Structure 1
Amino acid sequence: MKIAFYGSSLLSAYWNGAATYYRGLLRALAARDYQITFYEPDVYQRQQNRDIDPPEWCSVVVYEGTIEAQKNVAVDAALADIVIKASGVGFEDDLLLQQVMKAARPEALKIFWDVDAPATLAELKGSSEHPLRRALAGLDMVLTYGGGDPVVQAYRSVGATNCIPIYNALDPETHHPVAADRRFDADLGFLGNRLPDREARVESFFLEPAASSRDLRFLLGGSGWQDKQMAPNVNYVGHVPTRDHNAFNVTPKAVLNISRESMAQNGFSPATRVFEAAGAGACLITDHWEGIELFLKPGDEVLVARDGRDVGDILAGLTAEHAADIGWSALQRVLRDHTYEHRAVEVDRLFRSHFGRKEAAE
């Protein structure tokens, strides 16, 4: 079956946290004989900061960030059996949704794939005339980056026929244990871009513990933090390309996951960083959010902090041996239960079930 996928970027993770999610899931679907074309706009300097070249398992069409160029690629939806428009493409999202679903054949499976459901739902609830809200009735399903029952129920309340979370996972070919790298030597590392609904939590869970633990070394990676005030024991290394993520995760004694505010409040939304770190065998400390135990076992496979003081207490008592044990246990868990191959089996079942029901009804 042919998939036309309209998303932010497959080729670049620059200001694009969904990149590894797209890559892992679509590569696993391609291995199940799906023919995929990914359409991404040339915006936000992503093409100047590519992490990968176009892969063998997926065709990639990069189009200019103009209305005319977008219109030209939207008509390609007519060639696909499955048409997917992701959230957060970054250029005229509402118009793109309208264009691709209008171009899709009547018998095609039409999907909105939301990679930031809590934020999207807040917009929908605030506007009864939101373009996506009006479009939901014409879509076959909404798939989400995560969110559990709260997101499912919320989407149904605003008109979605069906909503299914497809959680982040591990791509073992991309994220795996490597040798330590002196560039990333630290007691605690955090990797994440500076975003409005994450910044206060980064201050609380990372920068404040750093200021209170001057005898420890802290490592900060990600875009946008260059003018942020931070203690002298914080080493800011800027944007970290995906090729260095494994080394960033395994070199510090521990790495920290800090959820965005909306995802922490909603729960059931593990970030890609959770599985990347676990896949590298890193000792992960995560901020608390509802549902963490569905993915990793607190205390054995992940360490959980409810605030910055917890982070400091965990670091004070964390030995290198204990950190290694946590990382090893996390790696075994995600390889067993949480790879993109596992997720692709679920998605493939959804797609084939939909087409089976349509054939039975004809």
Structure 2
Amino acid sequence: MRIAIFGLTISSAWGNGHAPLWRGLGKALVDLGHELVFFERDLPRFASTRDWTALPADFANSKLVLYPDWSTIERRACRELASCDVAIVSSYCFDAQAATDAIMDAHHPLAVFYDLDTPITVDMLRSGKRVPYIPWRGLGEFDLVLSYTGGAALEALRSDLCAHRVRALYGHVDPDTYQPMAPVARYRTALSWLGAYSADRQAMLEELFVTAARQRPDQKFLIAGAHYPEHFPWSSNIGFIESLPPQEQAAFLCSSRLTLNITREPMARLGWCPSGRLFKAAACATAVLSDEWCGLDDFYTPGEQILVARDAEDTLAALDLSDAQLRAIGRTARERTLDEHTSLHRARQLIHYLEEIRSPSRSWTAPAALRAHISGDGPALN
């Protein structure tokens, strides 16, 4: 198949979770014999950290289209869509509405919306906020709606946005990029956290990480991520790396005796929300200590393949495990990851979903209340 993707970014893996997912999924789709064309708005915040200016050689017969604004790319997009079998629009795509209109006008390709941020989408909708990447007609016109999270998030896409065929397409990892390697001295630590600052997980980070660090002053703790405020409650044994290059993430994780996974509150509330961070660490065979959320045991077995923490005492108990115990947990997590959670697994799943679709109909019209809400002119929907 030939697949067009309108996404946030694939060109810059700094400070966002979208690019690693598209890179892994795209590479796997190409390995399965498909071709891609990825449309990305050339935004300054990604241009300044761009590590891809074109798709690499292993993306055979595929291409990256960087464009300054929709008007300059509209005709080309329409030409590409005329020869595509599938067209995907993702959450946070800067031109999601225009891309959706072009896909629907093209008629030929299967229309897919992939929400990589479903809990955030649902939270914004139910708070009465405008969601700029959601088409004003909702999601009912799409032949398939994919969600990065499962569980209640899938029903929310049906009830709040009238999606009629919804499937989970979870995160994943490219095992060629994330794999065990020798520790690097500058990253050696008892417990690490790899993630940008986010207010809606700060309380859990303070409980599971900061409080534990203060109770273990003789051990080193390390945070890597951007946007941490001056008032963050640092302590003398917490190191900080503001700019960790994407290509250094595997070394960072492999140098951690134990690494932390914390989920943003809207995601944890809906459950079935494995982060890319979780799969990366597991692929590196690093033992993971995660916060608790519904569905976690569908991905890794607590106590055997992952450790679960509810408070600082659980963190301290995990740190007290022997090196051999932590290595065993990391090793079994890697085995589970290679068996179930690689980018190739997700690519095959996506192709299966597409093959399920029959005779899609695009004659659906959103109710007036939904149109008003999505455009920001209406009240929150229940």
State whether TM-score is above 0.5. Answer: yes
The alignment partner of 2:222 has SS state of strand
- Counterpart residue identity of residue 26, structure 1: G
* 1:262 partner letter: P
- Given the two structures, how large is their TM-score scaled by the length of structure 2? 0.86
Q: What is the aligned partner in structure 2 of residue 124 from structure 1?
A: 125
Answer whether contact 1:286 1:302 (CA < 8 A) is retained.
yes
CA RMSD of aligned residues (A): 2.1
Q: Are the aligned partners of 2:14 and 2:246 in contact in 1 as well (CA < 8 Å)? A: no
- 2:365 counterpart residue number: none
Q: Distance in 1 between matches of 2:259 and 2:129?
A: 41
Higher RCO structure (Cα 8 Å, ≥6 apart): 2
Q: Give 3-state SS (helix, strand or coil) of 2:145's partner.
A: strand
Q: Deviations over 1:81-110 (max 9, x none)?
A: 211110013x354x344443344x213110
**Gap change, CA 1:350 and 1:319, over 3 Å in 2:** same
Q: Which residue of 2 aligns with 1:153?
A: 155
Q: Provide the residue aligned with 1:331 in structure 2.
A: 334
Q: Contact 2:82–2:108 (CA<8 Å) still a contact in 1?
A: no
Question: Deviations along 1:145-202, whole A, 9 cap, x unmatched?
Answer: 12x2311111111200111001112211111111110110110000001123233332
Change in Cα spacing, 1:70 to 1:306, as seen in structure 2 (3 Å) is farther
Instruction: After TM superposition, give the deviation of residue 38 of structure 1 in Å.
Output: 0.9
Paired residues of 2:290 and 2:307 also in contact (CA < 8 A): yes
Cα offset for 1:132?
Answer: 3.1
Q: Distance in 2 between matches of 1:129 and 1:49?
A: 28
Distance in 2, Cα, partners of 1:272 & 1:4: 23
What's 2:43 paired with?
43
Whether the 8 Å CA contact 2:81–2:109 is kept in 1: the answer is no
Q: How does 1:38-77 map to 2 (within 5 A)?
A: 38-52=38-52, 54-56=55-57, 57=59, 58-64=62-68, 66-69=69-72, 71=74, 74-75=77-78, 76-77=80-81
Aligned residue number for residue 147 of structure 2: 144
Provide the rounded CA distance (Å) in 2 between the counterparts of 1:96 and 1:245.
35
Q: Secondary structure at 2:137's aligned position in 1?
A: helix
Match for residue 296 of structure 2 among 267, 284, 292: 292
Against the structure 1 CA distance between its residues 350 and 303, is the aligned structure 2 distance closer, same or farther, given a 3 Å change threshold? same
Number of aligned residues: 351
The runs of 5 or more residues in structure 2 that have no matched partner are 361-382
Give unmatched runs, 5+ long, in structure 1. none
Asked if the contact 1:249/1:255 (under 8 Å) is kept, the reply is yes
Secondary structure (helix, strand or coil) at the match of 1:230 reads: coil
Work out the CA distance in 1 between the residues paired with 2:25 and 2:249.
Answer: 18
- Per the alignment, residue 259 of structure 1 pairs with 263
TM (normalized to structure 1)?
A: 0.90
Matches of 2:100 and 2:52, distance apart in 1? 30
Shift of residue 253, structure 1, vs aligned partner: 0.7
Residues 1:272 and 2:276 are matched in the alignment:
yes
1:44 and 1:117, CA in 2 relative to 1: closer, same or farther beyond 3 A? farther
Q: 2:315 aligns with which of 304, 311, 314?
A: 311
